Amino acid sequence: MKGNELKPNIGLFGRRNYGKSSLINFLTGQPISIVSAEAGTTTDPVRKTMEIGGIGPVVWVDTAGIDDEGSLGRLRVEKTLQVLPSVDLALILFTNNIFDLEEKQLVAACQREGIPFLIVCTQTDRVEPDARLLEYLADTYGAERICKVSTRDERTRLSLCEKIKEALPQTAYVMPSLLGDVLKGGEVVVLVTPIDSSAPEGRMILPQVQVLRDILDNDAEAMFCKPEQLEQTLGKLGGKPDLVITDSQAFAIVAEMVPRSVPLTSFSVVLARQKGLFDEYLKGTPQISQLKDGDRVLLMESCTHNVTCEDIGRVKIPNLLRKRTGKDLQFEVLAGSALPSRPMTDYSLAIQCGGCVVTHRQLVSRLQMALDAGVPVSNYGLTLAYLNGIFDRSIEIFKKQER
């Protein structure tokens, strides 16, 4: 996954020397990727952010050629194919009027994974595209998906950007309201945020910022406090807040202080509802009670970060799972774009983080490999709510909206 917050990823895929790196440089207007006549110049995926009018910032991902050779080449191809499920849009490049098995397999993978794609004929200033091939591609995959590009013609860059704007799903760059259907203007929300060694220096974590902005966008009021200040903060209100949202790791102590009549949830649960597979989380979380000695649990992090002794995913959740279930469980952490070290069927449960730095498409692609293997999925916040005995309470405010 990317470390760029909520920017859609657009991947460039194709054979070696098909102009992927040149196209990246052409689109960004900068020499981001090394361009060479020597095949296999691009090895690991290269990322660069650029603004597209009407969309905002996007991340271009330049990948190694899918026809690379030798043992090292095969590793590069594996890296390229690992990127594919996490992109929000794939540009499949071809040139020299060659659209063969490799290109068709890429298209088939996109169709199988539900990934939007464009088929881009590159280097058209060198080789004139065959009209019959373009007609075949248009008939087979849709004319709206076919585009011709020459890095010597600025008009083709603008044309490709327009095609991208049409093909890129809005879910990749438009963030729907997190709380718009549960908040009214003028309501008061208390946000509880622990400040410990896992908190970043001098700033709030992204889920807290996203929730705060959404509260303000919905004309509600927000009050921040630490868990140890919550009782005092509630007293200052002179009445009950309309909603309390806490960091999931503070669920237990916050639930004791907040009256049962006040809705309570967490930042992670709010994000899970907006961009994850919430219904799958609701089905999968209670499977915690079915865990047995020796079962493996996969903890899925969408970003990479420094690990501390108070890390919620790598320390607190495993410790609490062992304590509450009384079982001898095995844990594996999957960070960024890494793949599990063993078959998914070896895991009894997969627990996903809030996914604050990724798009809906990118998060779902990670969860889908677990669901396809029949592995139940949960979310950090919902797992902690379940382990603290407040699972139903944490989702109550959202379930009311569905009635």
Highest mean pLDDT among 13-22, 72-81, 156-165: 156-165
Residue ranges of the alpha helices (H) in 326-375?
Answer: 360-372
3-state class percentages of the chain: helix first, strand second, coil last, to nearest 5: 45, 15, 40
Flag the least confident range among 166-180, 253-267, 315-329: 166-180
Supply the pLDDT for residue 36: 44
Query: What are the helix and strand counts (H, E) for the chain?
Result: 14, 14
The predicted structure's pLDDT at residue 3 = 37
DSSP state of 285: G
Find the mean pLDDT for residues 167-188: 88
Does 284 or 32 have the greater pLDDT score?
284
User: How confident is the model over 189-232, as pLDDT tens digits?
Assistant: 999 998 876 666 777 888 899 899 999 999 999 999 999 999 99
Distances (CA, A) of 337 to 79, 85, 303: 10, 10, 8
Give the pLDDT confidence score for residue 198 in this predicted structure: 63
pLDDT for the residue numbered 41: 46
Which among 51-65, 66-80, 368-382 has the top mean pLDDT? 368-382
* Mean pLDDT value of segment 254-280: 91
Find the mean pLDDT for residues 155-175.
86
Q: What percent of the chain has pLDDT over 90?
A: 52
Residue 138: beta bridge partners? Answer: none
Contact partners, residue 173, CB within 8 Å, separation at least 6: 6, 7, 8, 55, 56, 58, 359
- Is 46 in contact with 66 (CB distance < 8 Å)? no
- CB atoms inside a 10 Å sphere around CB 136: 12
| 3-state SS track over 99-167 | CCHHHHHHHHHHHHHCCCEEEEECCCCCCCCCHHHHHHHHHHHCHHHEEECCCCCHHHHHHHHHHHHHH
Q: With the C-alpha atoms ordered 272, 273, 278, 283, is the resulting torsion angle positive or negative?
A: positive
Highest averaged pLDDT of the listed ranges 90-99, 269-278, 329-338: 90-99
Q: Do the beta carbons of residue 203 and residue 148 sit within 8 Å?
A: no
Mean predicted lDDT score pLDDT of the chain: 86
The lowest-confidence range among 13-22, 39-48, 285-294, 328-337 is 39-48
User: Regarding predicted confidence, which is higher, 31 or 293?
Assistant: 293
Q: Are strands 146-148 and 349-352 parallel, antiparallel or unpaired?
A: unpaired
- Confidence at 130, pLDDT banded by 50, 70, 90: very high
pLDDT single digits (tens) 349-360: 999 987 777 777
Question: What does the pLDDT average to over 135-143?
Answer: 96
Query: Which of the listed CATH numbers 2.70.98.60, 3.10.20.30, 3.40.50.300, 3.40.190.10 matches domain 9-172?
Result: 3.40.50.300
CB 230 within 8 Å of CB 254: yes
Where does 282-387 sit in CATH, by number?
A: 3.40.50.11410
Where residue 301 falls among pLDDT bands split at 50, 70, 90? confident
Helix (H) / strand (E) containing 386: helix 380-387
Residue type, 33: S
Q: Residue 98 has what pLDDT?
A: 93
Tell me the mean pLDDT in the region 236-263: 93
User: 89-94 and 117-121: which strand pairing?
Assistant: parallel
For the record, the structure tokens of 257 come out as 């202080």
Q: What letter does residue 290 receive in the DSSP assignment?
A: G
The Cα–Cα gap between 68 and 45 comes to 14
Instruction: Report pLDDT digits (tens) over 67-123.
Output: 776 777 777 778 788 888 889 999 999 999 999 998 999 999 999 888 999 999 998
Within 13 A of 267's CA, how many CA atoms are on the CB side?
26
| Long-range pairs of 158-163 with CB within 8 A, sequence gap ≥ 24 | 160/27, 160/118, 160/120, 161/27, 161/52, 161/53, 163/118
Predicted structure pTM score: 0.73
As a whole number, mean pLDDT of residues 297-306 equals 77
**More confident of the two residues 3 and 20:** 20
**Residues 60/48, Cβ–Cβ less than 8 Å:** yes
* d(C-alpha 382, C-alpha 392), whole Å: 9
Structure tokens at 371: 């669901």
**Residue 322: in which H helix or E strand, if any?**
helix 317-325
**Range picked from 26-30, 51-55, 103-107 for highest mean pLDDT:** 103-107
Residue by residue, what is the 3-state secondary structure of 231-254?
A: HHHHHHHCCCCCEEEECHHHHHHH
Domain ranges for the chain: 9-172, 282-387
Quickly count: other Cβ atoms within 10 Å of residue 82's Cβ. Answer: 14
Residue 151 confidence (pLDDT): 85
